[in-house]
Chains A and B, each alone.
Chain A
Amino acid sequence: MITFHGTSSNNAKKINSANVDVELGGGELGRGFYTQEFKSEAKSWAFNVSGDRQQNVVSFDTNDNDIQNLDLIIFDRMEAGRHRLNIKTQSATGSYLFGNDLVWAPIVGTSKVNGEQYKWESKISELLLNDPSLTTKKII
């Protein structure tokens, strides 16, 4: 599975050199490192956050079997929306944990779904993303 993380070109360099930290980021599904399904959308986000036009996305190519071996939780749109509301109400976007390695859900922050998001939550998933023998990272 290939997923994308949009950011500044400086951060992309740091992340590419084995520096994913699942404890640093937050989002609509709480604390974790977020990637998404579509490269073009990761690029749009990266530019609008950093102003950097190129080298602003890191792609993660992770073996499907390794992902299936994670403690994985998958939500549909309604479930993800419910969790999002709960997390937002608690002001816990920077702290909420599901207790799983990877949370896989539709993006629900916008009014309609635009692709999938992946929240890498645990140290196990962090190791998976940072181990070059398990995940191929590339700045694009």
Chain B
Amino acid sequence: MMNFIHYLVNNNTHPYGLIHPSEIEEENYRSFGAFYIMSRDDVVLEKEYVFHAILGDEIIVTNAIQTVNSKNVYQIEVKEVGNFIFYAESIRQAPYVGSNNYLNESHAIKRFRCRRQDELEKACSDHDFYFVGASKMINDNFN
């Protein structure tokens, strides 16, 4: 699961730990998530990451592929929707403090951020397309 892009939120009860949104304990608590690259080791970026998304009513799998010249820049091509440039943004490393086994002892090493928010908004409006990342909801759909 380390070569997946993950969707996580700040844990309300931990100073800077991250959890899945479905693990928020407080009822009706509104948080704001972001996409993260997780690792159990040092900061070594993969050449390719799996990045889940929704297109219409379907969960689809896209591939974020590292560009040749820049190690922190990734391109994602989504057929009939468009191309998106994401970059691995430096952050203070944050541990995963939830209870999902596959992320135990891992920490966020980079935030995965779209260079052009307006393109995400356009894809959402025009094609009902949006990225969701890996999370408990994706696991539930595939298990």
Contacts and interface: CB of A to CB of B under 8 A. Distances in A.
A and B: interacting chains = yes
Interface of A: 24-28, 34, 36, 38-41, 43-45, 47-51, 53-54, 88, 93-94, 107, 109-112, 114-115, 117
A27 B30 contact: yes
B57 interface: yes
Contacts of B133: 44, 48
B135 interface: yes
B91 A48 contact: no
Interface in B41-68: 54, 56-59
Give the one of B89, B91, B130 with max A CB within 10 A. Answer: B130
B117 interface: yes
Contacts of A54: 56-57, 128
Interface of B: 7, 9-10, 12, 20-22, 26, 28-34, 54, 56-59, 89, 91-92, 94, 111, 113, 117, 120-121, 123-125, 128, 130-133, 135-137, 140-141
Contacts of B33: 41, 44-45, 48, 110
Given A48-B7, A112-B91, A40 B121 contact: yes
A53 B57 contact: yes
B7 A114 contact: no
A117 B32 CA distance: 9
